[in-house]
Amino acid sequence: MMQKYIEKILRAKVYDVAEETPLDFAATLSEKINNKVYLKREDLQPVFSFKLRGAYNKIASLTPEQTAHGVIAASAGNHAQGVALAAKKLGIKALIVMPKTTPEIKIKSVKARGAKIVLHGDSYDDAYAHAMELVAEKGMTFIHPYDDQEVIAGQGTVGMEILRQHNGDIHAIFVPVGGGGLVAGIAAYVKFVRPDIKVIAVEPDDADCLNQALKAGQRVILEQVGLFADGVAVKQIGEEPFRIAQQYVDQVITVSTDEICAAIKDIFDDTRSVAEPAGALAVAGLKKYAEQQHLQQHTLIAIDSGANINFDRLRYVAERTLVGEHREILLAVEIPEVPGSFLRFCKMLGKRSITEFNYRYFDARMAQVFVGISSSGAENDRQHLIEQLAEDGFPVTDMTGNELAKDHIRYMVGGHAPFELKESVYSIQFPERPAALLKFLLSLGSQWNISLFHYRNHGAAFGKVLIGLQIDGEQRRRFEQCLSVLGLAYRDETGNPAYRLFVGGSEADGHR
């Protein structure tokens, strides 16, 4: 079977429209991690993503009868642009079904390449289901984003180019994974030609469908996926990619949102280009792997897979980068509510810089502050600081890995509720579109009293809300049932220490 893939990759017609992208040496990142790092610049494709390769190879393989009926795809981003450009190049009509949450910049980009667009639903799954209905109705050929042999072969040309461009020693190639088409194509080619080279898949730790499938020994469907790296936010690995990955992928590395943001900055430092979160995923995995394995002076290659990022998201990326680089520590610190305490706290920090300090008077005995502190980036620096603070009489709760604290609480520190509220708190994701916040509130109705609310637009397809309501018992069950009926992903945050320490009512944090 692998022989068949090699033949398909060698015969792939991708170069009618795609570029052979450079393999650039990342000098700054190489020096930082003491390894030789190269970036495969798929962000330089005409559609700023590798997706064009697989889309064109599939469409170019269609019969005259199939091309006469046209092609259809479901996508919110890079695959849509690849299908649109490929179809335009071949003179075939194309229809793209996109979720209504798709940013306007991506809709315009697809229209500019000649495809017709249908907006349907709030997610890829909604768009996919509608596309399947249109396939049956119009007789068009569906172009799958990853679970198709011709698509996989098209993406496999990335691996073929890497081995042609660098014929020396390569320790590992790091590949971002969503549905698995890219890693399957690269692994099939690389392991046939150079089985000594490791192929390492990289996934977000909140969207690790390949990782979970490999652990289970079969494909699984994730209950929900994180949406920061929206280009790889896939609930189930493709059937054919999984079959190949089981045989030829050496390892899966999962990375956090903060680590992805730091990798976006690393790519910018070396190339002066801005990768999308999914585009920087492989670099984040490369860095984490090199640190875990204590690698020195090895050749490591990462796929810079795309640069389709909304400008609005850069603010969020910048905010999370310092933590991702291990250069900022976020802490909740108790400080005695007496004159001179803050000065003593600052003196104890020595030459460390305070990057953020949030405080509001609430208790006559102790102050609870949310503080950001610069870090050297050394492996044990955070733990050493926490132990030092505790020894000096400043009890600490580490917030560096607390998503609620980073997404909401750090912007809300302004005081606890003045009395017991019997409050339940939830973080909720809802589709981001015009008037989305109003529609969300209307959908909840007026049956529950809202006691806390925080929302920030991050330029992504889904918005994040932190909401507190004065409910308990049966009302909690009814509220959660309402969210499920609305199809909204949610998490109960009532017990989260970030909430309890900074904005909870008196019963939440022990003050009575």
**Whether residues 173 and 268 fall in one domain:** yes
Catalytic site includes residue 51? yes
Structural domain includes residue 240: yes
**Whether residues 112 and 136 fall in one domain:** yes
Q: How many domains does the chain have?
A: 4
Structural domain includes residue 276: yes
Residue 283 amino acid letter? V
Integer Cα distance of 446 and 448 in angstroms: 6
Catalytic site includes residue 111? no
Task: Pick the closest to residue 179 from 50, 320, 314, 18 (CA basis).
Answer: 50
Give the pTM.
0.81
Give me the catalytic one of 8, 40, 51, 265. 51
**Whether residues 164 and 245 fall in one domain:** yes
**Whether residues 121 and 197 fall in one domain:** no
Integer Cα distance of 206 and 200 in angstroms: 18
**Whether residues 361 and 275 fall in one domain:** no
**Whether residues 249 and 176 fall in one domain:** yes
**Whether residues 69 and 91 fall in one domain:** yes
Rounded-to-5 percentages of helix, strand, coil across the chain: 45, 20, 35
**Whether residues 248 and 383 fall in one domain:** no
CA 489 to chain centre: 16
The ranges of the chain with pLDDT < 70 are 1, 339, 359-364, 413-419, 432-438, 456-461, 505-512
**Whether residues 461 and 389 fall in one domain:** no
Query: Final residue of a domain: which of 297, 320, 343?
Result: 320
Q: How many helices (H) and strands (E) does the chain have?
A: 21, 18
Kindly list the distances between the CA atom of residue 66 and the CA atoms of 233, 453, 506, in Å, as whole numbers in the listed order: 30, 52, 67
Structural domain includes residue 412: no
**Whether residues 241 and 271 fall in one domain:** yes
Structural domain includes residue 410: no
Residue 367 backbone dihedrals phi, psi, to 5 degrees: -105, 140
Integer Cα distance of 505 and 139 in angstroms: 59
pLDDT at 509: 45
Structural domain includes residue 407: no
Kindly list the distances between the CA atom of residue 49 and the CA atoms of 19, 42, 77, 442, in Å, as whole numbers in the listed order: 11, 5, 10, 38
Give me the catalytic one of 61, 109, 123, 305. 305
pLDDT at 454: 82
Q: Which helix or strand (DSSP H or E) is residue 8 part of?
A: helix 2-11
Query: Final residue of a domain: which of 341, 367, 401?
Result: 401
pLDDT at 346: 76
Contact 258, 320 (CB under 8 A): yes
Integer Cα distance of 123 and 143 in angstroms: 18
CATH assignment at residue 265: 3.40.50.1100
**Whether residues 346 and 442 fall in one domain:** no
Structural domain includes residue 175: yes
Query: Final residue of a domain: which of 142, 159, 182?
Result: 142
End-to-end CA gap in the chain: 69
Q: Which two structure tokens, joined as six digits, stand for 194?
A: 């150079």
CA 332 to chain centre: 26
Integer Cα distance of 58 and 83 in angstroms: 9
pLDDT at 511: 38
Structural domain includes residue 409: no
DSSP assignment string, 58-116 = HHHT--HHHHHH-EEEE-SSHHHHHHHHHHHHHT--EEEEE-TTS-HHHHHHHHHTT-E
Q: Which two structure tokens, joined as six digits, stand for 507?
A: 């019963």
**Whether residues 397 and 453 fall in one domain:** no
CATH assignment at residue 377: 3.40.1020.10
* Domain that includes residue 496, residue range: 417-509
Structural domain includes residue 408: no
